[in-house]
Amino acid sequence: MPTSFRHDFIRFVIAQKVLAFGEFKTKAGRLSPYFFNAGLFHDGLALKQLAQFYAKAIVDSGVEFDMLFGPAYKGIPLAAAVAIAFADAGRYVNYSFNRKEEKDHGEGGSVIGAKLAGRVLIIDDVISAGTSVRESVSIIQAAGATPCGVAIALDRMERGTGELSAVQEVERYSHMPVISIANLDDLVDFLGVDPSLSAHLGPVNRYREKYGVAASA
């Protein structure tokens, strides 16, 4: 994927205040110099633009898929929005999502939307512990379909409990690719070419040296 595309995304998330710089405590107890909060994509235009970035990243990845799946809860609007972005580009794909509690009346079950079938691409915001991906894989396989990949907005490229990042752990156990619109390398590159943000380059680089992992081959 061209660097300019990834830089466009980083510029977009900074403008939306989804990506912020400062000092933030992560779930792992680390002090991070940046924070990415996809929950701040909460207006129609921002969600539309985000979905377009997802669609471009998915197409550029070359991953073949038949439908989309959004894990509850953040993945639900993302999968719907990405399906709309593909429709705007002339490709019509089905999507579905799960509810946390199985329903025994009405349409019943835990999956809403299109029937899970064929190659299913999971759409989520980020991968932290990989829990929602594991749950999604189980749901998709139980329906007789094939999980074929995961698309996320930002890959922090940060070690988990071992030497691998959360994304690399997901790729290893699931044997499927994780597509990200941008990753930590892209963020560092962007900070290096935007003078207005250069003050953040040092802290982000030091954090990467301490907790980062190399990109997957």
Bond into 73 cis (ω within 30): yes
Tokens of 214: 């190399």
> Is 25 a known active-site residue?
no
> Given phi > 0 = left and psi -120 to 50 = alpha, else beta, which region is 127?
beta
C-alpha span between 130 and 182 (Å, rounded):
18
**Which residues share a beta bridge with 97?**
70, 112
Catalytic residue among 25, 103, 115, 210: 103
27 part of the active site: no
Active-site entry in 17, 27, 100, 105: 105
Pairing verdict, β 67-70 and 94-103: parallel
Contact 91, 68 (CB under 8 A): no
Catalytic residue positions, numbered: 103, 105
